[in-house]
Amino acid sequence: MTIFIYLTYPVLFVFSQITLGFGIATYLLLFKSIELESLKIKFKIFYHDSHSLVITVFEFQF
């Protein structure tokens, strides 16, 4: 099962996005009883200069 999460925020919230991503992963681990070894987290950060927006893509595979 793969979960894709797309988040778009101003540049100042980049670290909040990363923290949120790991927070969601922790939620999945705690409430879905998923073993840590079976959960793979990938996140990519795309910076769009003209609008000062950062698009972060979180991919959870388990």
**For the chain, what are the domain ranges?**
2-61
Q: Say which residue the tokens 């949120």 belong to.
A: 20
Helix (H, G, I), strand (E, B) or coil at 20: helix
Give per-residue pLDDT as tens, 4-52: 555 555 544 556 666 777 777 776 666 655 455 555 656 565 555 555 5
Total-model pTM: 0.27
pLDDT of residue 23: 72
